């Protein structure tokens, strides 16, 4: 992956767009200097290609090794969550609790192994599975 592609990949992982359309319908690419400044403001070291690759690796690993994303914003109807667990943590029931922003909440349980698997990956010698919880 080129340095430019790596920078774009890092932007994608943190939710930064790398291009935009103006009102006249012209596509503009965000300059590399702007990308690196925004990434630095978010706490990512982009001082060298190796540091960019390290940041990508850390974010991609965290995506798998964290059970849930830090925050979900979901519509009221048809909400689903993506869960990620290490193979050795996949037995038994998962207990869950949701706090609504307007007060109240919901709770329940489900069996991780019965949820449909979206994908799996081996990271640092451990097998992880990502599944969709309705």
83 and 42, same structural domain?
no
pLDDT, greater one: 75 or 98: 98
Higher-pLDDT residue of 3, 78: 3
Angstrom distances, CA of residue 97 to CA of 1, 71, 107: 41, 14, 4
pLDDT for 79 beyond 80: no
Q: Identify whether residues 29 and 49 lie together within a single domain.
A: yes
Read off the pTM. Answer: 0.71
Q: Which domain holds residue 95?
A: 68-133
**Residue 133 and residue 124: Cα distance in Å, rounded?**
25
CB 130 within 8 Å of CB 84: yes
Query: Where would I find the beta strands (DSSP E) of 47-125?
Result: 81-86, 93-99, 105-111, 117-123
Number of separate domains in the chain = 2
What percent of the chain stands above pLDDT 90?
46
**Rounded Cα gap, residues 113 and 118, in angstroms:** 12
- Determine the pLDDT at residue 78: 66
84 and 128 both lie in a single domain:
yes
């Amino acid at each position: 992956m080129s340095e430019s592609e790596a920078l774009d990949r890092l932007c994608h992982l943190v939710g930064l767009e790398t291009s935009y359309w103006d009102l006249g319908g012209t596509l503009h690419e965000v300059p590399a200097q702007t990308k690196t400044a925004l990434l630095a403001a978010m706490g990512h070291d982009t001082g060298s290609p190796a540091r960019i690759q390290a940041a990508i690796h850390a974010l991609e690993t965290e995506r798998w090794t964290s059970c849930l994303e830090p925050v979900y914003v979901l519509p009221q109807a048809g909400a689903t969550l993506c869960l990620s667990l290490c193979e050795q943590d996949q037995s038994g029931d998962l207990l869950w609790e949701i706090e609504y922003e307007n007060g109240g909440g919901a709770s329940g349980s489900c069996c991780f192994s019965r949820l449909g698997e979206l994908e799996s990956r081996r990271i640092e010698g451990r097998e992880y599975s990502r599944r969709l919880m309705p």
